[in-house]
Chains A and B, each alone.
Chain A
Amino acid sequence: MKKLLLLTLMFVFTVSLIGCSSGNNKTANSEKTPAASNGNSAKKNEEKVKLSLWHNFTGNDLRATMMRDQIDKFQKDHPNIELDIQAIPPDGYKTRLKTVAAANEMPDVFMMWPGAMTKEFHDGGLIQPINALLDSKPEWRDGYLPGSFDSFTIDGNIYSATLGLTPTSILFYNKAILNQYNLEVPKTWDELLNAVKVIKEGGLTPIALGNKAAWLAQSSIISSLADRVTGTEWFLKAAAQDGAKFTDPEFVEALTYLQDLWKAGAFQEGFNSIDNTQMEVMFAQGQAAMMINGGWALSNLAANATPEQLKDMGATVLPSIPGGKGNPNSLSGALGSAFGLSSKVEGNRLQAAYDLIYALSGPEVQKMTLDSSNLVSYKAELDESKVSSIFSEVYKLVNSVERTPVYDGVMTSAGSDAVNNGLQELLMGGDPQKIAQKIQDAQATSLQ
Chain B
Amino acid sequence: MTAKARIRGVIIVGLLPALFIFCFFVIVPIIWSAWYGFYDWKGIGAMKFIGFGNYAEIIQDPVFATSLRNNLIVVAASVFGQVPIALALALVLRQSTLYQRIIRSVVFLPMVLSSVVIGIIWGYIYHPQIGILNSLLDWIGLGTWKQAWLSNPNISMYMLAIPIIWNFIGPYMIMYIAALQNIPSEIEDASAIDGAKPMRMLFSIRLPMIWDTIKVTVVLCISGSLKTFDLIYVMTGGGPAHSTELLASYMYNNTFSIYRFGYGSAISTSIIIISMVLIAGSQLLMRRNTR
Contact = CB atoms under 8 A, between A and B. Distances in A.
Greatest chain A CB density within 10 A among B32, B150, B240 is at: B240
A12 B18 CA distance: 13
Interface string A288-320: 000000000000000000000000000000000
A21 B242 contact: no
Interface stretch (A177-185, A367-375, A420-428): A420-428
**DSSP class of B's interface residues: helix, strand, loop or mixed?**
helix
B87 to A, nearest CB: 19
A274 B128 contact: yes
Given A6-B212, A25-B255, A18 B30 contact: yes
Interface in A23-65: 23, 25-26, 28-29
A19 B239 contact: no
B236 A212 contact: yes
B44 A417 contact: no
A417 B253 contact: yes
A400 interface: no
Contacts of B148: 269-270, 272-273
B241 A425 contact: yes
B264 interface: yes
A212 B43 contact: no
B25 A23 contact: yes
Given A14-B275, A413-B259, A414-B258, A21 B240 contact: no
B215 A120 contact: no
A430 B126 contact: no
Interface string A404-428: 0000000001101100011011011
A405 to B, nearest CB: 19
Interface stretch (B67-75, B172-180, B217-225): B217-225
A9 B279 CA distance: 12
Interface string B246-286: 00100111011111110011001101100110010001000
Contacts of A269: 128-129, 148
A25 B265 contact: yes
A124 interface: yes
A225 B151 CA distance: 24
A413 B153 CA distance: 25
Interface residues of B, number: 61
Nearest to A16: B26
B239 A18 contact: no
A424 B239 CA distance: 8
18 contacts: A12-B22, A14-B272, A16-B22, A18-B272, A18-B275, A19-B27, A22-B251, A26-B29, A273-B127, A273-B150, A273-B235, A273-B240, A282-B129, A424-B240, A424-B241, A428-B153, A428-B240, A428-B241
Contacts of A271: 151
A270 B129 contact: yes
Interface in B200-235: 212, 215-216, 219-220, 223-224, 226-227, 229, 235
Nearest to B255: A25
Nearest to B242: A421
A416 B150 CA distance: 23
A446 B236 CA distance: 26
A335 interface: no
A98 interface: yes
A6 B212 CA distance: 9
Greatest chain B CB density within 10 A among A21, A271, A417, A422 is at: A21
Contacts of B64: none
